[in-house]
A and B are shown apart, each in its own frame.
Chain A
Amino acid sequence: MSNESTNAKENIYSLKGIGKVFKFTLSQTFKTKSYLISFIIFVLVMIGQKPINYFSARAGQSATEEAGSAITADTIGCIYIVNQTDVKFSAEDIKKNLTEDEQKPADEEVTPIAEKMVDVDGVEVDKALSKNDCAIFIGLDQDGYFVKGVISDDSEVNITEIDGLVERVYNNFADARLASAGVTEEDLAVLQKGIYVAGTESEADYVAAEESTVSKDRFSAYMFTFAILIFLVTSMSTSYVIASVTEEKTSKLVESLLVSVRPMALLLGKVLAMMSYVLLILVIGVIGSKITDIVMFDVMKLEQIEGQQQNMFNFGMITEFGFGGFLVIFFSIMLGYLVFSVFAGMLGSACNGTEDIQSATGTVMMLSMAGYFAAMIFGVMDKDIINQVFSLVPPLSFYMLPVCYLTGRVSLLTLLGSFVIQIATLALLVWIMARAYRNLLLADSSKPKLSAVFKAVRN
């Protein structure tokens, strides 16, 4: 009887025992302090990201507003406004736009700015300006209108105060100029938008573009957030999988395990346990992020800040596409996770020490990071051809597909086709793993390289 005939009945793809491996790995993960601490930190980061972003953006906005409004002129004695243009503009236009504080300072001994402003037709700076005065010239040259502050050579005036005044005069003059031309700000915004040649496209492309549900900025923000989510999931879990596999190998446990459970069940049990761990982080993080949203904007009635900054890191966005969208995102994350983890497990099984772990983790992280950066760049570019192609090609499709589909960049057919390709990739990796994993685990001189994996498959 040949070996083939006796061993042929052994099913290397058997998953018998996977439940026990899963249960043990998961329970031990939550019993291990470092994993537990990581769990708490990740959940807190996910939940806290939105308020941190919000309040830092808010603080930035407030600071800008403050810089624009709260002008002081404590060190200035007299402010000469010199309008040398045809635009009707005077110190009065500035005075009526001053804030209440500026018009009537809390400190009664401080002279209000309005009282210091004087309109003059022209001023001979070297003669008229004392060391506490300043002049603000509004003029027109070959480059356009300008607003310029001037002080005497021996001036004791605080430069910051002059800058604040010039900024304020500039804003008021800009409004006066538009008003004199009969143009509103909205008109100006329309005029300033460029025109470009969009080329010729097919009817299908035209319809797809028409059905696009979000703006370019929002698409970019979604892509950014989803790429981070995938990167977070893959980088976290793959390093755990590698460490876990290598621990069993270096602790000389594999032989005892391999007489009880087949390699595929052993690795997949671990991978699924780590997936549950990471998923739990995500689920709690996303729910927490959503609750934070509700508390901030519905309960505390905070003012929404528009723009990309606020959409980034908003992990609650997963729930913005309805149940169907949630399923697409969830399925994509799972597929991406499984492919990266099985790959990580294979490399982990070839590790024989700490240096090897670093090398294996580095390889997987590099791949994951490349996908992350590419998705961010392509998200900003938002080009149809890029969205179509990279939604189909793993590993980039793990990062791009769901967002491209949910924002109307790719069709349902592309989504399904890409899922088929991703599943085929996973099946190929699992097939390689079933053939190589045992040999790699038992080899004590292997290195975490693809060549070692393929060699193990041949053996």
Chain B
Amino acid sequence: MSLVVKDLYKKYGEKVVVDHISFSMEKPGVYALLGTNGAGKTTSIRMTLGMLDSDGGSITWNGGPLNFDTCNIGYLAEERGLYPKYSLLDQIRYFGELRGVSGKVLDDRIAYWAERLKVEEYLYPEKAAEAEAKAEAENGGSGARKKTAKKKKKPKSPDQLSKGNQQKIQFLIAMLSDPELLVLDEPFSGLDPVNADILKEVVREQIAAGKYIIMSSHQMEVVEEFCTDITILHRSKAVVTGNLNEIKKSYGRVNLTVKVEQDITDLIKQEGIELLSEKEFEYRLKVTGDEQGNRLLKTLVEKGIPVVRFDLSELSLHEIFVKEVGEEASEQ
């Protein structure tokens, strides 16, 4: 299976919103679409999924068109929502049925994901209350909760849920069809660390299960954790695209962290190295590449200065992003 997006182009009136963007996924994994606000990420995703018609370019899935008839798609949209007044279970079932899952399979999957994402109490409040009362009784409790279990029977409507829990419900909906292509637009925004970890764990499982995942996020450390390939969009254009490791390599190893047991500020200045910060003889430096870094290490050794830590590394994704779009973005 493969996803190929080629020369994707879209304009509204005279304004170009996606300008000849291309990327591909030849094998399962996570592809990241990054960019500043308004760079064209969501529009690109909408076109990729067939929600919006493009004005040019092509999108193919296994050589054919990509839409929900040809591909089992799971989508967590950036603009998330649920029917505010309808019951959660009703609407989850509705979305599941729209995705072609029904009957016992659907009920089993809802139950499975409700447990995985820890939202059972909102979907099955009666069961949750009973379990709670039972646990209390087993722990020698008075069983008072059992009496109040009936009061808790009424399920919450979506507008009574926290934003994070609503998001988990939407993620559950995206997973109902066991999708082969999973598109996650800002999946971790608005989640507390505990819930973010739950979602990360699921994403890891999906990667291991050989799913194709497109992820858009502003949280670079998360993207870095999961993605093998990226495209950075800026002002409708792709400014960086390709394999993340290769991209990093192309920028060289320029981040140097040195920890010693004495002040080496003069030495750093002599070598013409940019000092970013210093804290208790731990220096964060910006070097021009391996050569300058190694030269500093050689000098330290020659001068008999004990080196506690010497870490010469590539630019982080965050730094690459800022380097490529940061200046212009801040000017906007």
Contact = CB atoms under 8 A, between A and B. Distances in A.
Mutual binders A and B: yes
B58 A2 contact: yes
Contact of B52 (A21, A27, A442): A442
B269 interface: no
Interface string B47-77: 0011111111111100011111100010101
B64 A6 contact: yes
Contacts of B86: 28, 31
A28 B93 CA distance: 13
A424 interface: no
The main secondary structure of chain A at its interface with chain B is helix
B173 interface: yes
B331 interface: no
Interface in B219-235: none
A413 interface: no
B201 interface: no
B53 A7 contact: yes
Candidate in B52, B60, B64, B67 with the most chain A CB atoms within 10 angstroms: B67
A459 B58 CA distance: 17
B75 A256 contact: yes
Interface string A252-277: 11011111110000000000000000
Interface string A1-35: 11101111110000011001100100110011000
Nearest to A257: B98
B83 A6 contact: no
Find the residue from A28, A253, A256 having the highest chain B CB count within 10 A. Answer: A256
B199 to A, nearest CB: 17
Given A7-B65, A438-B52, A253 B97 contact: no
Contact of B82 (A17, A24, A253, A255): A253
A253 B98 contact: no
A405 B58 CA distance: 54
Contacts of A387: none
A260 B57 CA distance: 23
Contact of A255 (B6, B75, B90): B75
A7 B50 CA distance: 8
B173 A256 contact: yes
Nearest to B85: A32
Contacts of A261: 98
Contacts of B99: 260
Contacts of A259: 49-51, 68, 73, 75
Interface in B8-22: 8, 12
Given A3-B59, A6-B58, A438-B51, A255 B46 contact: yes
Contacts of B80: 252, 256
B190 interface: no
A17 B98 CA distance: 6
Contact of B83 (A2, A253, A459): A253
Contacts of B51: 255, 258-259, 438, 442
A32 B46 CA distance: 32
Contacts, number: 100
Nearest to A249: B81
B281 interface: no
Contacts of B64: 6, 9
A255 B174 CA distance: 12
Interface string B253-288: 000000000000000000000000000000000000
A251 interface: yes
B310 interface: no
A251 B84 contact: yes
Interface residues of A, number: 34
A340 B236 CA distance: 39
B79 A252 contact: yes
B83 A247 contact: yes
A439 interface: yes
A255 B77 contact: yes
Given A10-B50, A24-B94, A261-B98, A253 B58 contact: no
B217 interface: no
Nearest to B179: A259
A374 to B, nearest CB: 38
B83 A251 contact: yes
A452 B2 CA distance: 37
Contact of B12 (A8, A16, A438, A459): A459
B139 to A, nearest CB: 38
Contacts of A16: 69
A258 B99 CA distance: 11
A442 B91 CA distance: 21
A265 B57 CA distance: 27
Contacts of B57: 2-3
Interface string A24-54: 1001100110000000000000000000000
Contacts of B83: 28, 247-248, 251, 253
A149 B173 CA distance: 87
Contacts of A9: 64-65
A446 to B, nearest CB: 11
Interface in B103-121: none
A246 to B, nearest CB: 12
Contact of B68 (A3, A5, A251, A260): A260
Nearest to A256: B77
A413 B8 CA distance: 52
A261 to B, nearest CB: 5
Interface of B: 6, 8, 12, 46, 49-60, 64-69, 73, 75, 77, 79-87, 90-91, 94-95, 97-99, 170, 173-174
9 contacts: A2-B58, A3-B58, A6-B60, A7-B59, A28-B83, A28-B90, A259-B68, A259-B73, A459-B53
Given A3-B58, A7-B59, A253-B82, 4 more contacts: A3-B54, A3-B59, A6-B65, A258-B51
List 4 tightest A-B contacts by C-beta distance, closest first: A252-B81, A255-B77, A260-B98, A251-B81
